[in-house]
Amino acid sequence: MPTNIPPEAQAKWEEYSKAKTPEEKLQKLKEFYSLIPKHKGTEKMEKFIKRRMSELREQIKKHKLNKKTKGPSLMVEKRGAAQLVLIGYTNSGRSTILSALTNARVGISPNPFSTLRPVEGMMEFRGAQIQVVEVPPIIPKAQGGPTNLSVTLAGNADVLGIVLDSLDNPTWRFEELVKFIESKGILLERPRGKVRIKRSKAAPTIIIINKGRIIDGNEKDIKGILHFYGIERAWIEIEGYVTLDDIEEAVFGEKKYKPFIIFLTKVDLLNDKASIENLKNKIGGKALAIVTHPDGIPSRDELGDIILKELGLIRIFTKSKNEKYPSEKAVILPHGSTVIDLAKAIHKSFSERFRYAKVWARRLPYSPMKVGPDFILENMDTVEIVVR
């Protein structure tokens, strides 16, 4: 909970909240920053203000750039069941992985900074497609340039593929990269809870929809924090375990959690394999580290499965009555989906005319088994829906 904020700073914060343009917001925020005392209790706030300021600077710059050039967009439109963004330092082997997983045409080169624009390709595996995007290399100290674009694209990804060169201090590099990405508001550790603040004039007051637990306070404390920041009308949604700090963070913008996979490259050139174990110990159970070398990138099937699992998605194969084999294309559904969810996903009429389904799966005592609408599906099940 913010303490010891002088009234003139509070007033400045209100001015900031009301400011319309990014330029104006940045100016007010700078003034606010100069007015708050700096000590342990305000550390969090300081961090957020700095982040918000850099976001605003970024917005202003982009806006100017857009005005000047009307070239092709550097954003990548999402396709397929999920998007994997390959992020890392220059020469780490991002293009090598992209071209191993997809048919994308990309330049692989021992020279640094070969990929300065996003390149995308489709990774096809049994029944599904995952879009793989290589983004320009990260330069941690960079102010702007392709690094910012990469951070934006990473923030938009479903999964991050962190590419690390095993010859270049991978554990240290990993930590540096994580710190950098997190400073940009992308969280790599699964949060225990989630806070979403939706400001709206339509909200009569502050409405808290609490589906979780507030560890170190109560709803009155939350209202106090929001009131402090001049938020009087909003819906606050809480899931899982959250702290009052999390609420304060959410005022400054929701942090985006991204699951990630590590690709450790060039192990064929590595003499001492200890650094691989070192890295694996460091990341613990947080992510999967995949060791790759020029002809040893994991199969698309394996990797696709890992990614879908990480995202809580399953692949279901459907069969129609007159076909002997299921369709080659899978239906991608959230984990825990039922037969009727599948029917809805295929077509509305399927769910309306649903009678029963036949399921083929190894876990069943026999296949096909006749099941009702609430039967819970699992990854790789084959289903035939029988309608009226």
* Residues engaged in binding Mg ion (CB under 5 A): 94-95, 114-115
CB 94, min distance to Mg ion, A = 5
Task: Quickly count: other Cβ atoms within 10 Å of residue 206's Cβ.
Answer: 18
Alpha carbon 353 to chain centroid distance? 37
**Contact partner at residue 131 from Mg ion, ligand GTP, none, CB < 5 to 8 Å by partner kind:** none
Subset of residues 137 to 196 that bind ligand GTP, contact rule: CB under 6 A: 137
- How many residues touch ligand GTP (CB under 6 A)? 23
Alpha carbon 203 to chain centroid distance? 29
**Contact partner at residue 37 from ligand GTP, Mg ion, none, CB < 5 to 8 Å by partner kind:** none
Q: Establish if 269 lies at the interface with ligand GTP (CB under 6 A).
A: yes
Tokens of 133: 């995007």
CB closer to ligand GTP out of 24 and 168: 168
Q: Which amino acid is at 361?
A: A
Q: How far apart are CA 367 and CA 358, in angstroms?
A: 8
Q: Establish if 102 lies at the interface with ligand GTP (CB under 6 A).
A: no
CB 130, min distance to ligand GTP, A = 19
Q: Which of 71, 72, 112, 285 is in the footprint of ligand GTP by CB under 6 A?
A: 112
CB closer to ligand GTP out of 2 and 161: 161
Q: Establish if 110 lies at the interface with ligand GTP (CB under 6 A).
A: yes
**Contact partner at residue 268 from Mg ion, ligand GTP, none, CB < 5 to 8 Å by partner kind:** ligand GTP
Q: Which of 96, 131, 275, 337 is in the footprint of ligand GTP by CB under 6 A?
A: 96
User: How many helices (H) does the chain have, and how many strands (E)?
Assistant: 12, 17
Q: Establish if 92 lies at the interface with ligand GTP (CB under 6 A).
A: yes
Options 193-201, 262-270, 325-333, 344-352: segment touching ligand GTP (CB under 6 A): 262-270
DSSP H or E segment with residue 219: helix 219-228
Report strand pairing: 186-187 vs 256-257: parallel
Residue 206 in contact with residue 233, Cβ under 8 Å?
yes
**Contact partner at residue 265 from Mg ion, ligand GTP, none, CB < 5 to 8 Å by partner kind:** ligand GTP
| Cα dihedral 225/228/231/237 (nearest 10) | 0
Alpha carbon 118 to chain centroid distance? 17
Task: Quickly count: other Cβ atoms within 10 Å of residue 331's Cβ.
Answer: 20
Residue among 312, 349, 348 at smallest CA distance from 332:
312
**Contact partner at residue 121 from Mg ion, ligand GTP, none, CB < 5 to 8 Å by partner kind:** none
Q: Establish if 204 lies at the interface with ligand GTP (CB under 6 A).
A: no
Residue 133 in contact with residue 120, Cβ under 8 Å?
yes
Q: Establish if 109 lies at the interface with ligand GTP (CB under 6 A).
A: yes
CB closer to ligand GTP out of 255 and 300: 300
- 352 φ, ψ to 5°? -70, -35
Residue among 237, 137, 104, 258 at smallest CA distance from 188:
258
CB closer to ligand GTP out of 194 and 266: 266
Q: Would you tell me which residues interact with ligand GTP (CB under 6 A)? A: 88, 90-96, 108-110, 112-115, 137, 265-266, 268-269, 292-294
